[in-house]
Chain A
Amino acid sequence: MGVEQPKTLGSGFVTTSLDKLVNWSRASSMWPLTFGLACCAIEMMATGAARFDLDRMGILFRASPRQADVIIIAGTVTKKMVPVIKTVYEQMPEPRYVIAMGACASSGGIFDTYSTVQGVDEFLPVDVYIPGCPPRPEGLLYGLMKLQDKIRAERNTFGAAIGVGDVVHNKA
């Protein structure tokens, strides 16, 4: 985090930039919304369970969009599901992030048909795409770590939250 103990102030003081503090707290407690739509959800559950243990990274699944920071679209998105996902996404407090998990959520996958959305990026701003059919838990973990990198690279996150300027997205 770049915490320093400046000599002039003596011990008992630490200094850091507000960006780093805010980004550290956001990246260390990404609470995803449980949004399993197909077989990817099974891998997502496995990632959350004891063997891979998402809790150790501060990632706790929430059942309510109002308590969530990240929505993991885990599975095939049908056109009938789109208004539901949109509603749930809009209920999430900002800043909010989207992970497209698996081939279906990223591109429609094998379901190149009339009823399937050809990738959730048609209607949601996706931050991380995770390939695989379904991705193994390692893949999801890597995707979540990529999102953490992305959050850590953001600048002026606190300023944007209080209405001063916009978030600057630096390359992670």
Chain B
Amino acid sequence: MSDQVIVEKLKEKFSSEVLNIVEFRGETTVTVKKEQIVDICTFMRDDFGYNLLCDLCGVDYLGKAPRFMVVYNLYNITTKQRIRIKAPVEEQDANIDTVSTVWGTANWHERECWDLLGIKFNNHPDLRRILMPADWEGHPLRKDYPLQGPDREPYKGRLS
């Protein structure tokens, strides 16, 4: 099944959810609303065989609204097909439902995303920090986080 057919079927089933579809150099990216992300991911896994979540990450588009984007890179091991799903998340009370019930590997990916970007994953079984120390304050991969830490003067070029 080609990417176009998969995207068409996804659009058919979740017509009100799909925001944008982009194809660039053979890579298909579907942007969807965050509300039904679990249903969409379950659909992608069960009906199109995307049985591997390669990566789940967050992007900080500081200055834009919505500020964050959660990106799901899916892979179908049988047909060797890839697809990317993106879901925008607002800055205020940033949260999205967990997909760790769909792919177990999402558990740690979502913990990393929470740790570094501060996007909360609802219903996550164990949403703790994974990279930073447990008592760390703030989310250092956010674009407005000071590079050298909050307790130091902000970076002003190489002479600072």
Contact = CB atoms under 8 A, between A and B. Distances in A.
Nearest to A83: B133
Interface residues of A, number: 6
B147 A114 contact: yes
A114 B133 contact: no
Contacts, number: 18
B118 to A, nearest CB: 14
Interface in A107-144: 112-115
Q: Chain A contact residues: over half helix, strand or loop, or mixed?
A: loop
Contact of A112 (B132, B133, B148, B150): B148
A169 interface: no
A80 B133 CA distance: 5
B124 to A, nearest CB: 22
A66 interface: no
Contacts of A113: 147-149
Contacts of A80: 132-133
A79 interface: yes
A79 B138 CA distance: 15
Interface of A: 79-80, 112-115
**The 9 A-B residue pairs with the shortest CB-CB distance in the complex, in nearest-first order:** A114-B149, A80-B133, A114-B140, A113-B147, A112-B148, A114-B148, A113-B148, A79-B133, A114-B147
